[in-house]
Amino acid sequence: MNGPLLASIFTGLQVGASLVATEAAVAEVGAGRLGFLRYAIALLILVPVAFLSSGRPVPRRDMLPVALIGIGQFGVLVALLNVAVLHTASPRVALVFATLPIVTLALGLRFAAGRVSPLELASIVMSVIGVVFLLAGEALTGRMLAFDWIGVGCAALATLTGALCSHLYRPYLQRCGVAKVSVIAMLASLVPLGVMALVEGQGLPMGDWSRQTLVLVGFVGLSSGVGFLLWLYALSRLQAAVVTAFLGLSPVTAVILSVLFLGASPTPTLTLAVAMVLVVGSLAATAFAQRRGRKMPPLPAGGGGG
């Protein structure tokens, strides 16, 4: 399996783990403050990588659009996800966010590079079916309350934001490289997240945080730095809809970690097994399609950060 596919798999796992960690810490930290700290810590990884990369700097004309996309990708998307897990369980949020491939495909009809092969489309649909099957039983049993639907709505808006940003990033990644684009985008996101942290009025003073919360904040930040580099690396070499298909791993990851660490009710074994077969099968189909499919243009020299 090649590097971009491995990067996509890691991102799917990281998103699920990060949502569970966020659910465990967000009430104590606050949605805006957690988002701000998440990317302030992630920059500790991104800045050295960008400094050491040998590609040319981002042109001045590209600074503003890259910053605006970063505000969407980090400021808007992450704030919405943090609010979502305040209102509903992280596996539900991960389920909604895992529909990103279909939303990306729909938006891709407006982008020249948004086409995928029939096999890739089938694998994406299979992935979404798998994660829907995993958690649909909960909604059918009436366990979804009005408060939960607020969280689901925020997750849906985050999904739409992520799909749009996935397409908009690609030309800048190919021109400027992963690491330098990442730093500019993430720095720009700290402004709205910082404002949100100041006005939200949620969370405890930092001195009152538990040791567990400090560890969770550190994990979310560091894993986000690594995960976003790998996400952009994959986007620069694969179609956006194919990369986002691997987010099908995130709900499965979130369910398993929620059961292990948050005391959530375990999903029935048969349901989990069927969902895993569908998700893993979709990933295998995506990998096979990529081996047979067309190659994407490589990054510029020194652009790789993963």
* Contact (CB, 8 A) for 243 and 3: no
Higher-confidence position of 240 and 126: 126
At residue 303, the pLDDT reads 33
* Contact (CB, 8 A) for 36 and 194: yes
Q: Is the dihedral of CA 90, 101, 305, 192 positive or negative?
A: negative
Higher-confidence position of 39 and 306: 39
At 3, list the tokens: 């590097």
At 104, list the tokens: 């990306």
Residue 238 CA from chain centroid, whole number:
16
- pLDDT (average), residues 258-272: 72
At residue 276, the pLDDT reads 66
| CA distances (Å), origin 217, targets 70, 214, 248 | 21, 5, 24
* Contact (CB, 8 A) for 38 and 186: no
1-54 pLDDT, tens per residue?
588 889 989 998 999 999 999 989 998 998 889 989 999 999 998 898 888 877
At residue 18, the pLDDT reads 93
At residue 1, the pLDDT reads 55
What is the spatial distance between Cα 170 and Cα 236, in angstroms, rounded to a whole number? 6
What is the spatial distance between Cα 29 and Cα 213, in angstroms, rounded to a whole number? 8
C-alpha torsion 272→288→179→33, nearest 10: -10
Closest CA to 122 of 304, 299, 281, 295: 281
At residue 296, the pLDDT reads 42
At residue 214, the pLDDT reads 95
Q: What is the pTM of this model?
A: 0.76
117-176 pLDDT, tens per residue?
777 777 777 777 877 776 676 666 666 677 888 988 899 899 899 888 878 877 887 777
162-221 pLDDT, tens per residue?
888 878 877 887 777 777 888 898 899 898 888 888 887 777 888 889 999 999 999 999
The residue to which tokens 């606050």 are assigned: 30
At residue 300, the pLDDT reads 37
In 105-168, at which residue ranges do the beta strands (DSSP E only) sit? Answer: none
- Identity of the highest mean pLDDT range in 86-95, 207-216, 261-270: 207-216
